[in-house]
Chain A
């Protein structure tokens, strides 16, 4: 019969070599149903009987294998029904002929070490419609091993898809958390620079506060002595037996001397020293408070916020740099409503824009204009500097992560990309325009509302 078989066109076979290298669990081996094969010489009638046997009941088609163990075709229940048993005289016409005359000579043949993925692709491309076949599984030499059920492959695929989806979900979650870490570390890096500046900023009030307190201590000591001397004089005057005149005079003289070192003027000065001290301590508290706001970890919390307050806070934190560069700040604040946003995140954006603006200024008449305005349901903030500007070819890339024009070690290249991300999370916008040599203008637009869930969602 082999000569007959050889006349048939070559059936679609997916060979081992064609498949990608696989892991044991990935291939279709575990889907093989050991099934006794039919010989090509078997009569159609006999095959019809075989089909009703319980061992074949789960299969849409049965394998036909020659004496060498090579699959030569398959016969499906559907075809046998349609072409033989349901036709008038079908049984009479075909019943005694060998099954080889009716079989599908191009059965689906798949090597056992084919991956489920590859197998399912192969099946999808080659299977006949309506689906009435299962597939034959062969070993590396093309010898028959057993049958595979198409539905099982689909089941395995579905399982794999679920697995992949959850892998994807996990990857996505990891990505989000590392992104959030990245934002945090960028913030900490810029915070580090700010802390150095702020420490300096605090040194000025701390300088006079410390000096004043030390001086106050000295004055209080003088006042104590003076009070003691007064007391001695008064005691001497009130004593039933007054001390001898020279002693009394010595007491008065001592009092006179001490009055010189602690007079009304000194005490008046002390008052103003203490006023300054209270002011200085409040200023230090203010600076530290701003720092705390900035570094807050509950960064996703959404509040109704006065944007102007956030701007002032960012200006204080960045104050050191602004002063160092001698930059003038011009506030053109409009009437704006409160915005619903994450204040810590928006703080980060503001600080970034303000420090960038200051860093772009290389001359001594630097100026940063901060303009706010309500436009429809958005609040706009314009940050405009008269610095060196951004070259046209660089401008489109400034929001790209890790893009930086600063020398190594001076910028992470993440600042603006994080600003962009934060504005996205708030469903806001950030844009930049620049004229090289004249300055740069950043515009951010924050929706008054609705930013809420978005910003929160991105953190969870």
Chain B
């Protein structure tokens, strides 16, 4: 690749006018490709390097999430974004779990914002494409799962209901430590004292702002992966959790054991990948959360830092 290559950005939408409009917006900045067909999009990605794909969700031939899932298999380095006017929960959940998307953007979009997000994705992808290819963790069942390498991984379950913790404890091998926090205060305490690999959290809490905590956690520590298991069915907060919290999996309650087991396995494998290839961490860059200055005060963050520093001094 040349020193300053032009990133290739592929737009997929069944509405030609959207494609024309987007093409015009990004003309000159990238090598812009467009198609109104999902399968054509997958074919393009298989044929040539595509740094960023931005797909519509609802298309007659193939759903956007499906397109992104196939693109992920064909070219894991390609940054995947969903641009949709239909923010139904199903699509959002699938975009997290199957598409592992970078951003979920709603129509009508703000041109300036879209421009920034695509640019950020393009920069990350340009760096990654320069690296040797890494296979993505398998999503299918029966993958070589919980015979995990000795990662010394520690899991934190943040849920008032300890049943979630018990279930996780049951699902993962004895060698993995699984800690339980009933509120944010306890969670911060644990995060300060242990190097947590994976947080499994319920969004609903009687008094604490869990989504806000997860967002801040991710912005401070991109290594930590998050699996959300929740009763909450709110598309708005979920979209925010994708864009500002980069949650790794979303599992609606009641929890399916198998789904949770598979998700934990995939997360742990992904964690190893991140450790081995730190550049991948950039994929988990989050947007600034509006909650930063709000409900979750810097007081809590200070507390967390202090506790961690203490732990380090002790160590």
Contact = CB atoms under 8 A, between A and B. Distances in A.
Interface in B1-44: 15, 17-18, 20-22, 24-25
A279 B20 CA distance: 13
Given A279-B17, A324-B58, A207 B109 contact: yes
A215 B27 CA distance: 11
Given A200-B85, A201-B85, A324-B58, A206 B20 contact: no
Given A204-B18, A207-B85, A273-B21, A214 B108 contact: no
Nearest to A279: B17
A212 interface: yes
Nearest to B109: A207
Contacts of A279: 17
B255 to A, nearest CB: 20
B85 A215 contact: no
Contact of B20 (A210, A273, A324): A273
A206 B111 contact: no
A203 B107 contact: yes
Nearest to B14: A204
A272 B106 contact: no
B25 A211 contact: yes
A323 B111 CA distance: 26
A273 B108 contact: no
Contacts of A211: 21-22, 25, 108-109, 111
A206 B21 CA distance: 11
Interface in A197-225: 200-212, 214-215
A326 interface: yes
B294 interface: no
Q: Which of A200, A208, A215, A272 has the most CB of B within 10 A?
A: A208
Contacts of A280: 17
A203 B83 CA distance: 11
Contacts of A293: none
Interface string B85-119: 11110000000000000000011110100000000
B55 to A, nearest CB: 14
A276 B83 CA distance: 19
A328 B20 CA distance: 26
A248 B243 CA distance: 51
Contact of A208 (B17, B58, B60, B106): B17
Nearest to B60: A326
B24 A204 contact: no
Contacts of A214: 111
B107 A276 contact: no
Contacts of A269: 24
Interface residues of B, number: 20
A454 to B, nearest CB: 41
A223 B24 CA distance: 16
Please classify the interface of chain A as helix (H, G, I), strand (E, B), loop, or mixed, using the class held by over half of its residues.
helix
Given A203-B107, A214-B111, A215-B111, A208 B18 contact: yes
A208 B85 CA distance: 11
Contacts of A273: 20-21, 24
A205 B109 CA distance: 11
Contacts of A200: 85-87
A206 B114 CA distance: 15
B114 to A, nearest CB: 8
Contacts of A215: 21, 24-25, 111
A258 to B, nearest CB: 15
B21 A276 contact: yes
A205 B22 CA distance: 13
A206 B84 CA distance: 12
Nearest to B105: A207
Contacts of A210: 108-109, 111
Nearest to B27: A269
Contacts of A205: 17
A323 B63 CA distance: 11
A208 B86 contact: no
Contact of A207 (B24, B58, B108): B108
B161 to A, nearest CB: 24
Contacts of B107: 203-204, 206-207
Contacts of A207: 18, 21, 83, 85, 107-109
A45 to B, nearest CB: 98
20 contacts: A200-B86, A203-B86, A203-B107, A203-B108, A206-B107, A206-B108, A208-B15, A208-B17, A208-B20, A208-B22, A211-B22, A211-B25, A212-B24, A214-B111, A215-B21, A215-B25, A273-B20, A276-B17, A276-B21, A324-B86
Given A215-B21, A324-B58, A326-B60, 20 more contacts: A202-B85, A203-B106, A204-B15, A204-B85, A206-B107, A207-B108, A208-B17, A208-B20, A208-B21, A209-B108, A210-B109, A211-B21, A211-B22, A212-B24, A215-B24, A215-B25, A279-B17, A280-B17, A320-B86, A324-B86
Interface of B: 15, 17-18, 20-22, 24-25, 58, 60, 83, 85-88, 106-109, 111
